[in-house]
Amino acid sequence: MTKILGLSGSLRRGSFNAGLLRAAAEAAPEGTTIEIGSIREVPLYDGDLEAQHGLPPAVVTLQEQLRAADGLLLVTPEYNNGIPGVFKNAIDWMSRGEGLGHFVAKPVAVIGASPGGFGTIMAQNHWLPVLRTLRCSVWAEGRLLVSRAGGLFDANGDLTDEKSRTALADFIAGFAASLAVGSR
């Protein structure tokens, strides 16, 4: 069984990216599961907090989920042409202590949805130096940019557009297949 940890970089309940992650979990091919992690309880990074109390429980949970996963799926919003601060903050916390070792050579795929016409192309590109620094193995065999998301999701934040769901299923199948090959 191939296991992927999926993280949405938005805290908003009706987030397009949280909906895209749920749809990815539904689209996972047989033999693959996408475990949806949460960054909601991760505090802003504070070295004094870490020195006094160690890693927050939400961070420890994410580190354990990452360690147990065969791959990582980042589902990123794009804010002001870049990475959302809350998402980067969670990854920064996750890399603390032994967490950095969980990123090394971990296959990572990045997707995202945006109401704009260019999807999340800038945010996805901005993740590359971060993922290189963490020494991840970035999966670049596919790319998924969901543009004009406002018309593709319902009021609950669920992806309803069949063309997008098909593209997502193809992307997830490709990423999962690369993980299965990598584990041989």
The pLDDT profile of the chain, 184 residues, written as one tens digit per residue, is 999 999 999 999 889 999 999 999 999 999 999 999 999 999 999 999 999 999 999 999 999 999 999 999 999 999 999 999 999 999 999 999 999 999 999 999 999 999 999 999 999 999 999 999 999 999 999 899 999 999 999 999 999 999 999 999 999 999 999 998 766 4
pLDDT of residue 30: 97
pLDDT of residue 184: 46
CA gap 179, 131 in Å, rounded: 17
Other C-beta atoms closer than 10 Å to the C-beta of 166 total 11
Q: Which CATH topology does 2-182 take?
A: Rossmann fold (3.40.50)
**Long-range contacts of range 33-36, CB-CB < 8 Å, 24 or more positions apart?**
33/1, 33/2, 33/3, 33/4, 34/4, 34/5, 34/6, 34/73, 34/172, 35/3, 35/4, 35/5, 35/6, 35/65, 35/69, 36/6, 36/7, 36/8
